Structure 1
Amino acid sequence: FYPVKDDQFNQTGVVLVGRTLPSMADILGEMKRDILMILLLTLSFGLVGSFLLARHIKQQMFKLEPHEIVRMLEERTATFHSINEGVIAIDNQHMITIFNEKAKQIFGVTGDVVGRNIWDVLSDTRLPEIIDRAEPVYNEEIHMSGKRIMSSRIPIVMKKKIIGAVAIFQDRTEAAKLAEELTGVKNFVDGLRVQNHEHMNKLHTIAGLIQLGKADQALDLAFQTTEEQEHVTDFLHRVIEHDAVSGLLMSKIRRGKELGIMVEV
């Protein structure tokens, strides 16, 4: 807008100049070539980027298809839960990644514990120290949750970096009790064998003394043998409360007598 004035600077009119603003269609029409070029370049870069990304992801997944990965995960999970040994794995943040059914059965754990801190579930697994030490431990007997456990603990290393640790457990409590009982029985059997051998020697001696007409000496030897046996048996029964240890000591005492060695307890 501009005013029109005369020589005396009085306004005599006004001049209005304008033009029509382009519509969106007009703007797009003028920029059609540029837009097509941008779309073509964007599509080209997108296709190339998608191809490179897909190839990289497939290499990271060992060139496996998604259904193959799902099948492998299901098979691995089923395998971990079906083996007859406890398996526990943690990452380097001490978070549980694997806790199979056998491990739950051994330690009396219920529910899903994957993703929880190992210290909140089991405080005596000694798994975190494997991450700190970066050294494996094989076939070590430890006590966990009141059980005797044979444990192998191994750090998980990927690209020379420790990313976690895995432990394999075997409950040896029942096996240890059975071994102790069998050892005690074996020791008792050995003790009885030696005792039987000793008694046979004593009987032969007593029989020989009787045949020689020395009945008093034979009677004294019989009483002495009986008293010694009763003394040893009574002592072990009264002092030693563990049957396996008692049987072991009795067998050693009898074996010592057989070899002419005095055994003192």
Structure 2
Amino acid sequence: MTPTAPPSRLGRALGAPGRWSVAAQTFALQVLIAVLVVGAGLAGAFAQAKRAGDQEASARALAVAETVAATPSVVEAVQGPDPSAALQPYAERVRVESGTDFVVIMSRDAIRYTHPDPAQIGGTFLGHTEAALAGGVVAEDYTGTLGPSSRVVVPVRDGSRIVALVSVGIRTSAVGERVRTQLPVLLLAGLAAAALSGLGTALVARRIRRQTHGLGEPQLREMYEYYDAVLHAVSEGLVITDLDGTLRLANDEAVRLLDLPADAIGRPVADLGLAEPLVAALTDELPHEDELHVTSARVLVLNRGPATWRGRLLGHVATLRDRTDLEALTGELDSARGLTDALRSQAHESANRLHTIVSLIELGHTDRALAFATEELQVSQVLTDRVVGAVDEPVLTALLLGKAAEAHERGIAFEIEPGAHWPRDVAPTRDVVTIVGNLIDNALDAVAGETGTPRPERHVSFDSRVDGAYAVLEVSDNGPGLPPGAVKDAFRRGWSTKEQGSAGRRGIGLALVGQTVDRLGGTLEVSGPPGATFTVRLPVGGHRG
């Protein structure tokens, strides 16, 4: 019940050595995921930066082109005798100041007036101009004399007339260069993210390693499979509670023995409807060894001890064994043993009586011998006739005769009340024996243990009858009765007015009676002192259990 095996030994017992622990596997997987996420993030950031660069280049080229097209000197120069001479210096100045790669002013027929390479002046513009000639704007990526570029073409208007065209462009390589200048920043951000992710992953892996005690996935899987199989296979009930008295585990047998609800796990033991002594035994800090506990339907043997891990108290483990049938058989065995002792004593006493009768005959007192023998036979026969006439159940008849013999042996007067009657099949025979046997035993012990003021006779009586829908039985004695306020406690496990017996069964008899009567749907009442009378009422023809 105390798991103290170190993880390394446990790991060797359940899994192959040398495999990665769950913590190591988790760390490796998280690192891989972090690398993929950071790599994807960098790629996305680069693509976003490139797209932003392209958009910025197009916007800047459009702004410069519209500015040039709207300049009055340009409108005037394109209609002059030598546009190139007037516009080339201006276009180059604008190109340098705006940071673009070319500013080309051309005629409506796409003949260049300006170009960064003067040799290209007078040639035909490479690109599309149709939309600009129609009064719109051309925005495209095109490969011209300077290589691939992102360019725009806008019209130059003189009033409502389109008199020329302006194209401004930025080479694609220049845009890529600007994006590449941002790579160090992106890489630093990625490295920072990777470092933070690695630190977080290491902390998570460390926590998992601590929680799994360094075990690998195969070991944990095998542990769970064996753990689950054992819990379902063991014939004893297993209950684990934490330090707060909350139920943390109950196997199938424990659920059956304690009749636990489906949602019992995670609830305080005190809220599960168990008997108070059982709740106390499952929640206190004391060890319990081979304790008998009575539930509404069973007699249980409980053992309980602490559950520790490396010196740390985790909770408590309790095992439960069903002793209901064994307890009933033990009671019947005690009754049989008592009957055997009584019969042995009776045989010895009968031998003495027989010797007495023989001696009287030898002495010539035949009349006295006959009277002595007849008197003894009449006493025994009256009791036997009364028991047989009162009880229709043979087993109960035998029990009462045995108790009568035991009472006679102990010097106690045992009487069956006149008119007593107990019908057959009121309740299962074993339950009737449990109720009657324990009540009579309790009564015999009560009067047998009396000391002090002498009594003329120690007396126990049995009575039974049918009262409407109930069969009623009463066991009375003229003993001291129950102490004041002890009626409720008398049917609690472990309560007794007598010293604990060697078998540890003191305080279990009346608890068994109360349990059996409750299961059969009956009632149990106690009256006295003087003396004590136990009255049991059981439903006729519809007993439960």
TM-score normalised per structure 2: 0.38
Question: Which of residues 221, 225, 239 in structure 1 aligns to 2:372?
Answer: 221
Verify the 8 A CA contact 2:290 2:301 in the aligned structure 1.
yes
1:87 match: secondary structure: strand
1:117 paired with 2:267, answer yes
Please list, as runs of the form range in 1=range in 2, the aligned pairs for 1:163-202 lying within 5 A after superposition: 164-202=315-353
**Distance across 2 between alignment mates of 1:141 and 1:204:** 48
* 2:458 matched residue in structure 1: 264
| More helix as a share of residues | 1
**Distance across 2 between alignment mates of 1:223 and 1:165:** 67
* 1:253 matched residue in structure 2: 408
Deviation (angstroms), 1:55? 4.2
Residue by residue over 1:210-237, the C-alpha shift from the partner in whole angstroms, topping out at 9 and shown as x without a partner, is 1111101111211222234345656888
* 1:79 matched residue in structure 2: 230
Deviation (angstroms), 1:176? 0.8
Verify the 8 A CA contact 1:130 1:165 in the aligned structure 2.
no
Verify the 8 A CA contact 2:299 2:324 in the aligned structure 1.
yes
Deviation (angstroms), 1:98? 2.3
Relative to structure 1, the CA distance from residue 156 to residue 249 in structure 2 (aligned partners, 3 Å threshold; closer, same or farther) is farther
Which is further off, 178-187 or 84-93?
A: 84-93
Residue by residue over 1:122-177, the C-alpha shift from the partner in whole angstroms, topping out at 9 and shown as x without a partner, is 41066765676433433332222322222234565668887655432111111111
User: Structure 2: which 5+ runs fail to align?
Assistant: 1-62, 64-71, 74-93, 101-169, 413-455, 460-545
**Distance across 2 between alignment mates of 1:47 and 1:196:** 92
Q: What amino acid does structure 1 have at the position aligned with 2:250?
A: F
Deviation (angstroms), 1:35? 2.8
**Distance across 1 between alignment mates of 2:397 and 2:309:** 50
* 1:70 matched residue in structure 2: 221
**Distance across 2 between alignment mates of 1:93 and 1:165:** 10
**Distance across 1 between alignment mates of 2:222 and 2:192:** 39
Verify the 8 A CA contact 2:282 2:318 in the aligned structure 1.
no
Verify the 8 A CA contact 1:191 1:251 in the aligned structure 2.
yes
1:150 paired with 2:301, answer yes
2:320 match: secondary structure: strand
User: Structure 1: which 5+ runs fail to align?
Assistant: 2-11
**Distance across 1 between alignment mates of 2:283 and 2:236:** 25
* 1:104 matched residue in structure 2: 255
Relative to structure 1, the CA distance from residue 120 to residue 153 in structure 2 (aligned partners, 3 Å threshold; closer, same or farther) is same
Relative to structure 1, the CA distance from residue 130 to residue 251 in structure 2 (aligned partners, 3 Å threshold; closer, same or farther) is closer
Q: What amino acid does structure 1 have at the position aligned with 2:267?
A: N
TM-score normalised per structure 1: 0.70
Verify the 8 A CA contact 2:236 2:320 in the aligned structure 1.
yes
**Distance across 2 between alignment mates of 1:255 and 1:144:** 33
Verify the 8 A CA contact 1:92 1:131 in the aligned structure 2.
no
**Distance across 2 between alignment mates of 1:236 and 1:119:** 47
**Distance across 2 between alignment mates of 1:220 and 1:27:** 137
Relative to structure 1, the CA distance from residue 81 to residue 62 in structure 2 (aligned partners, 3 Å threshold; closer, same or farther) is same
Q: What amino acid does structure 1 have at the position aligned with 2:406?
A: S
Q: May I ask how many residue pairs the two structures share in their alignment?
A: 247
Q: What amino acid does structure 1 have at the position aligned with 2:226?
A: E
Q: What amino acid does structure 2 have at the position aligned with 1:34?
A: V
Relative to structure 1, the CA distance from residue 123 to residue 31 in structure 2 (aligned partners, 3 Å threshold; closer, same or farther) is same
Structure possessing the higher radius of gyration over alpha carbons = 2
Residue by residue over 1:93-128, the C-alpha shift from the partner in whole angstroms, topping out at 9 and shown as x without a partner, is 776532222223435568x65746367994106676
Which is further off, 41-50 or 154-163?
A: 154-163
2:273 match: secondary structure: coil
Q: What amino acid does structure 2 have at the position aligned with 1:212?
A: L
**Distance across 2 between alignment mates of 1:176 and 1:152:** 17
Question: Which of residues 4, 10, 32 in structure 1 aligns to 2:183?
Answer: 32
Relative to structure 1, the CA distance from residue 217 to residue 147 in structure 2 (aligned partners, 3 Å threshold; closer, same or farther) is same
1:142 match: secondary structure: strand
Relative to structure 1, the CA distance from residue 24 to residue 202 in structure 2 (aligned partners, 3 Å threshold; closer, same or farther) is farther
